[in-house]
Amino acid sequence: MFGFIALNKPSGITSHDCVAKVRKILKLRKVGHGGTLDPLATGVLPIAVGKATRLLRFFPENKTYRALIRLGVQTTTDDLQGEVVKSQPASMLTLKQVEPLLHQFVGTIQQTPPIYSAIQINGKRLYDLARKGKLIDVPARTVYIELIKLVGWSPGEFPELEVDIICGSGTYIRAIARDLGTMLNTGGTLAKLTRIESCGMHLSESISLRQLKEEVEKGSFSLISSDIALQHLNKITLSEMDEKRWLQGQKITQDLLPLSVSGVVRVYQPEDKLLGIGNVVEFDNYQILSPKVVLVDK
């Protein structure tokens, strides 16, 4: 089996749990996921099957989330799974006060990850250190947020703000909720999170674990092709002679490759079968195509 699954992850289990369940359903060991979702979160979890696991690192980085942020509450984990450390009614807040602050999160920003996260410091996961009660100075890191769009506002004792967020990899939505609450001096935490797009896969096209099992049992299940998952990469089709060289791991030098492109590309054989991923480097009068991932045995 070779291809991808747009899995609709349920709340309450880890991304690793999802991979384990897919392995069991497909009766296949070689399964991986592209981009961890917190246990509380739901939505698109890209799953790679077979040799397609080698292609996960070439997926597009941007992801789209729908987040519900609760103000007036602060927790240890920056979401509702954690212990409440601060709770104060924030009924005085208005959307007019809150919405302008969202713009401060857009662009390239410095973000401090939650102390309960999978980031490693000195070989130790932050969540392991946090559970042991160890205070760690978590360094900020650079993340990119393309857009934060207001979806809804619910006033009340603990008002809730619903937003859509388009961001690059490594961004913690929980940290946005926490930092917004800090700006408002009320505290804030993530109440709900759904990933609606990831790696070019959309929530509307995703399937649940139950649906996956039913389709596999009926024999109607089919994987998402690499063409859909990697369509953001330019495509190069090799001649039969160059195909043989490619499968041997050789670099291909030509005055002009089939497409005048540079960077990471999809590489195909004449019959339009994916051979793997390559990298094109341009020089003055020619280009060099180097293999990065070869999927087909020579």
The pLDDT value recorded for residue 120 is 65
The pLDDT value recorded for residue 7 is 97
Report the greatest alpha carbon distance in the chain.
72
- Tell me, yes or no, whether 222 and 146 share the same domain: no
Around 98, how many Cα atoms within 13 Å sit in the side-chain half-sphere?
32
CATH code, domain carrying 157? 3.30.2350.10
- Tell me, yes or no, whether 183 and 207 share the same domain: no
CATH code, domain carrying 246? 2.30.130.10
Does pTM surpass 0.85?
A: yes
Q: Which two tokens stand for residue 261?
A: 């492109």
Helix residue spans in the chain (DSSP H): 15-26, 95-98, 126-131, 173-184, 209-218, 226-229, 240-247
Report d(CA 234, CA 289) in Å as an integer. 13
Q: Which two tokens stand for residue 127?
A: 């969540």
The reply to whether 207 falls in a domain is yes
Report d(CA 41, CA 67) in Å as an integer. 9
The pLDDT value recorded for residue 1 is 86
The reply to whether 101 falls in a domain is yes
The pLDDT value recorded for residue 119 is 67
- Tell me, yes or no, whether 115 and 23 share the same domain: no
Across the 298 residues of the chain, what is the mean pLDDT of every consecutive 10-residue run? 94 94 96 89 95 90 95 94 92 95 96 76 65 72 96 97 95 95 96 93 95 96 86 88 88 66 86 90 80 80
The pLDDT value recorded for residue 90 is 95
The pLDDT value recorded for residue 185 is 95
The reply to whether 80 falls in a domain is no
- Tell me, yes or no, whether 91 and 185 share the same domain: yes
- Tell me, yes or no, whether 119 and 52 share the same domain: no
Report d(CA 18, CA 31) in Å as an integer. 10
| Residues assigned a catalytic role | 38
Tell me the residue length of the chain.
298
The pLDDT value recorded for residue 79 is 93
> Which residues does 102 contact at the CB level (< 8 Å), separation at least 6?
148, 150, 163, 180
Domain range enclosing 267? 233-294
The pLDDT value recorded for residue 271 is 85
Report d(CA 91, CA 53) in Å as an integer. 48
The reply to whether 22 falls in a domain is yes
Q: How many CB atoms lie within 10 A of CB 212?
A: 19
Helix residue spans in 126-269 (DSSP H): 126-131, 173-184, 209-218, 226-229, 240-247
Beta bridge partners of 252: 289
The pLDDT value recorded for residue 29 is 94
Report d(CA 193, CA 39) in Å as an integer. 10
Please state the domain count of the chain. 3
